[in-house]
């Protein structure tokens, strides 16, 4: 009997390659004749490049080419397709933001390219960029969404009628993806065929975007991204560095590698918009909501990018209320392109609404868990659909029990341990949990192993292992018998990209379908092939079980069968459709975070001392990697609450552009995190019942930290991050 690996602890199949340095990342490819490029970025915030002096650079040793707006290579605007930015790199002299690419130097070594780039000078005509969200008024929105009870004229009227009202305005600066692996591209042309080695969250999308910007057929571009050192949204679009690299490699007739420095990443591959939000709650004195309003003003670069919508994944789906209005506005600024980042709108949105709920709990004297249960939604407040499966109430209760929520200090600033103030806070986690279309190829091989391939990618999340687990489960074989393949745009088209926490929920059903079809194909081959011991039988009399094909008393493993038939492999490809996003159900994953902090009475030093989170995500495919994802998300939340922030200066320069100044949590900032999930397969999402969980841990976790800090200190910090100076 084989035991299904679904939901069990499976070690990463790519782990040994990674920890021994044998997993090649984008910059680890060294084709013959390779040359190196280094980018030049603009040093003014808005204006025009008047001239550039490249003479010293061109005369420097080993330099092969210097591309600038004045001596460019043709790149086509792909914005209408999949581009993130609405201009085209090096096609004009306009500087739209500080840190925009204005040049590329190519030389025979990395060091020579970098040194020559430093010899290029640029003269600008510049004006003051618009950079400050704080100084800007309300942005513009396509229109607010609202539901009002019969007879209620406006949300303001509904709020005014409430016995208790709360107004909370929170703000945060830009945040950056800071994936561990810097973006890098190695472009190799052979005849008119391009192979691009780069990190990618979706190699197939990536290939078509690059093809569009080069003006070649999509089939001429192959993106290989087998190993990707983090993405968090920053590896969804193909950015200008990759387009430039591919175009320059073509122009030079040489393989070219462009690796960005850590500093360059801060302005060239997207960031999370700075955002200011106001949540207004109106409630009965028993805490039941009468009205909820959620307004936001998010940075929207003039060069375009990801529109940050913090309310649609949070306030619009979280609590029952007769009156609700969300207005998500965008403010045009001269900043680098933004992009989706780790629970893109949901993480900031949850900070706003879950902070406001904590304030309502304080005002009404109702326990924060009880307050959320009193406002529990069984339908979307905007939209009105039922949830496919929702056990958030159990998350609250189980989480409270595991954490010891009943020991929470009732009054803020009432518990101490020596000079440390101790506080506890909680918040809700929510993130979309549907699935998209996907495709997979499954191949029985005559070496006794099975290839399980899909055009998705693994950005460190565990997708390699997910393919192996899904295939092993569907075929009744050991995980070790699976040979997963991903991270290659040449794999069956339609693979689910690693975005929106959807890759696993989308890909597992495709693997299951392909496994079923591969079994059917194997049986068909067994009855049709004259060298098969099953030749001539009715396929209905032949069955497959745990790697063996049998009929009556005849039985043979697939490896021996393939060898007997003289066939190297039998395979099948299947595409599966995603759920209908406008269908009858709302698909969301849920959770409840509980956090304890210790704040030093004299220094304001904040230590997160305990964290417990309980999640409702449907079926978990791999307990090991699921736990890592959820813990990672919670760590992001701790970082978002206490560390991650990048203010922008009036000249358009970011205050931080390296990992010494842009702070993310390190081990000393993170306690042991207790992650637990309920086991309720979602019957609507798919046969296996798995919803997404990748970004879920990041949603609400920052609010849980902030609410704990309030409980410890009695100080409500609404401008992130919560740093010690704000507690003194
Ligand atoms: Mo994600 S922020 O959908 O890459």
Percent of the chain with pLDDT over 70: 100
pLDDT tens figures, 472-503: 999 999 999 999 999 999 999 888 999 999 99
CA of 207 to the centre of ligand 1 (A): 18
3-state secondary structure of 611: strand
Q: What is the pLDDT of residue 51?
A: 98
Which one of 176, 205, 233 would you pick to mutate in the ligand 1 pocket, going by the greatest count of ligand atoms within 8 A of its CB?
A: 233
Percent of the chain with pLDDT over 90: 97
Q: Is 618 in the pocket of ligand 1 (CB under 6 A)?
A: no
CA of 577 to the centre of ligand 1 (A): 20
Which one of 272, 338, 340 would you pick to mutate in the ligand 1 pocket, going by the greatest count of ligand atoms within 8 A of its CB?
A: 340
CATH, domain range 436-576: 3.30.365.10
Mean pLDDT of 362-375: 98
Q: What is the pLDDT of residue 383?
A: 87
pLDDT at 676 over 70: yes
CA of 342 to the centre of ligand 1 (A): 6
CA of 172 to the centre of ligand 1 (A): 19
CA of 518 to the centre of ligand 1 (A): 32
- CB 352 within 8 Å of CB 704: no
* Predicted TM-score (pTM) of this structure: 0.97
Please count the other Cβ atoms lying within 10 Å of the Cβ belonging to residue 725. Answer: 7
pLDDT at 271 over 80: yes
| CA-closest candidate to residue 41, choices 269, 231, 249 | 269
Confidence of residue 335 (pLDDT cuts 50, 70, 90): very high
Q: Is 499 in the pocket of ligand 1 (CB under 6 A)?
A: yes
Please count the other Cβ atoms lying within 10 Å of the Cβ belonging to residue 558. Answer: 26
Tokens 């079980």 -> residue: 545
pLDDT tens figures, 407-456: 999 999 999 999 999 999 999 999 999 999 999 999 999 999 999 999 99
Query: Mean pLDDT across the chain, nearest whole number?
Result: 97
Q: Is 562 in the pocket of ligand 1 (CB under 6 A)?
A: no
- Residue 643 φ then ψ, to 5°: -130, -50
Tokens 């009929």 -> residue: 551
Is residue 51 annotated as a catalytic residue, yes or no? no
Question: Is-same-fold flag (31-127+180-230+235-268; 436-576)?
Answer: yes
Handedness of CA 680, 683, 685, 687 (dihedral sign): positive
Atom of ligand 1 nearest to the CA of 498: 4
Mean pLDDT of 528-548: 98
Which one of 236, 237, 460 would you pick to mutate in the ligand 1 pocket, going by the greatest count of ligand atoms within 8 A of its CB?
A: 236
Task: Name the pairing type of β-strands 184-190 and 386-387.
Answer: unpaired
pLDDT at 200 over 70: yes
- CB 621 within 8 Å of CB 690: yes
CA distance 206 to 203: 5
What value of ipTM does the predicted structure carry? Answer: 0.97
Atom of ligand 1 nearest to the CA of 502: 3
pLDDT at 1 over 70: no
Q: Is 344 in the pocket of ligand 1 (CB under 6 A)?
A: yes
pLDDT tens figures, 108-158: 999 999 999 999 999 999 999 999 998 898 999 988 999 999 999 999 999
CA of 232 to the centre of ligand 1 (A): 5
CA of 118 to the centre of ligand 1 (A): 34
Q: What is the pLDDT of residue 2?
A: 65
Q: Is 202 in the pocket of ligand 1 (CB under 6 A)?
A: no
Structure tokens at 650: 């009036």
- CB 29 within 8 Å of CB 184: no
Mean pLDDT of 14-39: 97
Residue ranges covered by each domain of the chain = 31-127+180-230+235-268, 275-434+582-727, 436-576
Tell whether omega for the bond before 76 is within 30 degrees of 0, i.e. cis: no
Question: Whose C-alpha lies nearest to ligand 1, atom 4?
Answer: 233
- The upper half-sphere exposure of residue 391, i.e. CA atoms within 13 Å in the direction of its Cβ, equals 18
pLDDT tens figures, 99-119: 999 999 999 999 999 999 999
Please count the other Cβ atoms lying within 10 Å of the Cβ belonging to residue 367. Answer: 18
- CB 680 within 8 Å of CB 616: yes
Which one of 434, 499, 505, 640 would you pick to mutate in the ligand 1 pocket, going by the greatest count of ligand atoms within 8 A of its CB?
A: 499
Confidence of residue 672 (pLDDT cuts 50, 70, 90): very high
Atom of ligand 1 nearest to the CA of 232: 4
Q: Is 633 in the pocket of ligand 1 (CB under 6 A)?
A: no
- CB 205 within 8 Å of CB 497: yes
CA of 500 to the centre of ligand 1 (A): 5
Q: Is 497 in the pocket of ligand 1 (CB under 6 A)?
A: no
Q: Is 201 in the pocket of ligand 1 (CB under 6 A)?
A: yes
Handedness of CA 310, 597, 636, 634 (dihedral sign): negative
Q: What is the pLDDT of residue 97?
A: 98
Mean pLDDT of 33-50: 98
Atom of ligand 1 nearest to the CA of 233: 4
Confidence of residue 581 (pLDDT cuts 50, 70, 90): confident
Atom of ligand 1 nearest to the CA of 499: 3
CA of 496 to the centre of ligand 1 (A): 13
On the 0-12 / 13-18 / 19+ scale of CB atoms within 10 A, 80 is exposed
Q: Is 696 in the pocket of ligand 1 (CB under 6 A)?
A: no
pLDDT tens figures, 691-727: 999 999 999 999 999 999 999 999 999 999 999 999 9
Structure tokens at 692: 């997404």
Cα separations in angstroms, 306 against 99, 132, 303, 691:
18, 18, 10, 24
b/e per residue 328-353 (b: at least 16 CB within 10 A): bbbbebbbbbbbbbbbbbbbbbbbbb
Atom of ligand 1 nearest to the CA of 341: 2
Atom of ligand 1 nearest to the CA of 231: 4
Q: In CATH, what is the architecture of 31-127+180-230+235-268?
A: 2-Layer Sandwich (3.30)
CA distance 458 to 625: 12
* 275-434+582-727: CATH topology: Aldehyde Oxidoreductase; domain 4 (3.30.365)
């Amino acid at each position: 009997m084989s035991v299904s690996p679904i939901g069990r602890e499976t070690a990463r199949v790519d782990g040994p390659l990674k920890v021994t340095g044998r997993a090649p990342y984008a910059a680890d490819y060294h084709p013959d004749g390779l040359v190196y490029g280094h980018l030049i970025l603009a040093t003014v915030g808005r204006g025009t490049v008047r001239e550039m002096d490249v003479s010293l650079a061109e005369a420097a040793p080993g330099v092969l080419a210097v591309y600038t707006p004045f001596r460019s290579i043709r790149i086509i605007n792909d914005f209408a397709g999949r581009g993130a930015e609405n201009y085209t790199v090096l096609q004009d002299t306009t500087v739209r933001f500080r840190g925009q690419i204005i040049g590329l130097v190519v030389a025979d070594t990395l060091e020579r390219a970098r040194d020559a780039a430093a010899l290029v000078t640029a003269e600008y005509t510049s004006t003051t960029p618009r950079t400050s969200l704080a100084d800007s008024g309300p942005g513009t929105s396509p229109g607010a969404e609202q539901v009002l009870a019969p007879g209620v004229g406006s949300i303001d009227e509904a709020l005014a009628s409430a016995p208790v009202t709360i107004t909370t305005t929170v703000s945060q600066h830009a945040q950056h993806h800071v994936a561990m692996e810097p973006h890098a591209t190695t472009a190799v042309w052979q005849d008119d065929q391009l192979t691009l080695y780069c990190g990618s969250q979706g190699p197939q999308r990536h290939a078509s975007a690059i093809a569009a910007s080069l003006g070649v057929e999509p089939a001429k571009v192959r993106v290989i991204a087998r190993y990707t050192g983090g993405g968090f949204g920053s590896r969804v679009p193909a950015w200008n560095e990759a387009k430039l690299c591919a175009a320059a490699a073509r122009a030079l007739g040489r393989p070219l590698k462009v690796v960005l420095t850590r500093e360059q990443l801060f302005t060239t591959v997207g960031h999370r918009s700075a955002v200011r939000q106001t949540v207004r709650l109106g409630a009965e004195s028993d805490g039941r909501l009468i009205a909820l309003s959620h307004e936001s003003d998010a940075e929207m670069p003039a060069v375009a990018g990801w529109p940050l919508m913090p309310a649609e994944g949070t306030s619009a789906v979280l609590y029952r209320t007769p009156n609700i209005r969300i207005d998500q506005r965008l403010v045009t600024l001269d900043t680098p392109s933004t992009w989706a980042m780790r629970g893109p709108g949901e993480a900031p949105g949850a900070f706003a609404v879950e902070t406001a709920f904590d304030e309502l709990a304080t005002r009404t004297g109702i326990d924060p868990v009880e307050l959320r249960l009193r406002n529990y939604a069984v339908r979307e407040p905007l939209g009105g659909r039922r949830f496919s499966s929702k056990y958030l109430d159990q998350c609250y209760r189980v989480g409270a029990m595991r954490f010891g929520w009943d020991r929470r200090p009732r009054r803020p600033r009432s518990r101490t341990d020596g000079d440390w103030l101790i506080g506890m806070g909680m918040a809700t986690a929510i993130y979309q949990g549907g699935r998209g279309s996907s495709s997979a190829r499954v191949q029985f091989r005559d070496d006794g192993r099975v290839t399980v391939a899909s055009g998705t990618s693994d950005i460190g999340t565990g997708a390699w292992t997910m393919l192996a687990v899904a295939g092993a489960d569907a075929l009744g074989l050991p995980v070790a018998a699976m040979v997963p393949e991903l991270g290659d745009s040449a794999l069956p088209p339609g693979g689910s990209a690693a975005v929106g926490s959807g890759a696993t929920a989308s890909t597992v059903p495709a693997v299951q379908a392909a496994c079923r079809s591969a079994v059917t194909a194997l049986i068909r081959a067994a009855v049709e092939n004259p060298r098969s011991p099953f030749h001539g039988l009715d396929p209905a009399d032949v069955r497959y079980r745990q790697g063996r094909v049998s009929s009556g008393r005849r039985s043979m493993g697939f490896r021996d069968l393939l060898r007997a038939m003289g066939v190297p492999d039998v395979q099948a490809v299947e595409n599966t459709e995603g759920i209908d996003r406008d269908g009858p159900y709302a698909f969301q994953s849920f959770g409840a975070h509980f956090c304890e902090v210790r704040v030093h009475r004299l220094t304001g030093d904040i230590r997160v001392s305990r964290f417990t989170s309980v999640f409702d995500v449907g079926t978990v495919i791999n307990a090991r990697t699921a736990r890592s994802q959820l813990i990672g998300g919670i760590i992001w939340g701790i970082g978002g609450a206490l560390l991650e922030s990048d203010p922008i200066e009036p000249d358009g320069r970011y205050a931080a552009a390296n990992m010494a100044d842009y702070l993310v949590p390190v081990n000393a900032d993170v306690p042991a995190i207790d992650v637990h999930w309920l086991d309720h397969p979602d019957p609507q999402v798919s046969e296996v019942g798995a919803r997404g969980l990748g970004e879920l841990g990041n949603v609400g976790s920052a609010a849980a930290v902030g609410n704990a800090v309030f409980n410890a200190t009695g100080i409500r910090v609404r401008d992130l991050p919560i740093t010690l100076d704000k507690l003194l």
